[in-house]
Amino acid sequence: SQQGEEDPQALSIQEGENATMNCSYKTSINNLQWYRQNSGRGLVHLILIRSNEREKHSGRLRVTLDTSKKSSSLLITASRAADTASYFCATAPYGGSQGNLIFGKGTKLSVKP
């Protein structure tokens, strides 16, 4: 079953703009991770945020986590054409099978030059 739901399903922006993607989930979690997938390729890990953290930064990425609302957001600042990809949130359910990440359906981001 899929726990995470990304919103929007698709997002199209111009280079230089910021992109925000949201993820909602259903059960308590140990952590939430974001992955990127370029067309025809595997997923690449971007960032992990623990359940006791509220915000985390990595380069042009900013992730927030609101456990009371069971939601997370991924912000990509100053987007580039190379950021064009699908972005997935993945949750590690609290008490679940260790290492069993549950992925959402993803947000397809298109950055136009």
The least CB distance from residue 16 to another protein, in Å, is: 28
- Rounded to whole angstroms, the Cα distance separating 39 from 83 reads 11
Query: In whole angstroms, how far apart are CA 6 and each of 61, 97, 113?
Result: 17, 23, 24
The least CB distance from residue 30 to another protein, in Å, is: 4
Nearer to another protein, 73 or 103 (CB): 103
Nearer to another protein, 106 or 109 (CB): 106
Give yes or no for a contact between 16 and 112, defined as CB atoms under 8 angstroms apart.
Answer: no
Residues found near another protein in the complex (CB under 8 A): 2, 4, 30-31, 33, 35, 40-45, 48, 88, 90, 92, 96-106
The least CB distance from residue 19 to another protein, in Å, is: 18
Nearer to another protein, 60 or 105 (CB): 105
Query: In whole angstroms, how far apart are CA 9 and each of 3, 26, 32, 105, 107?
Result: 15, 18, 19, 8, 5
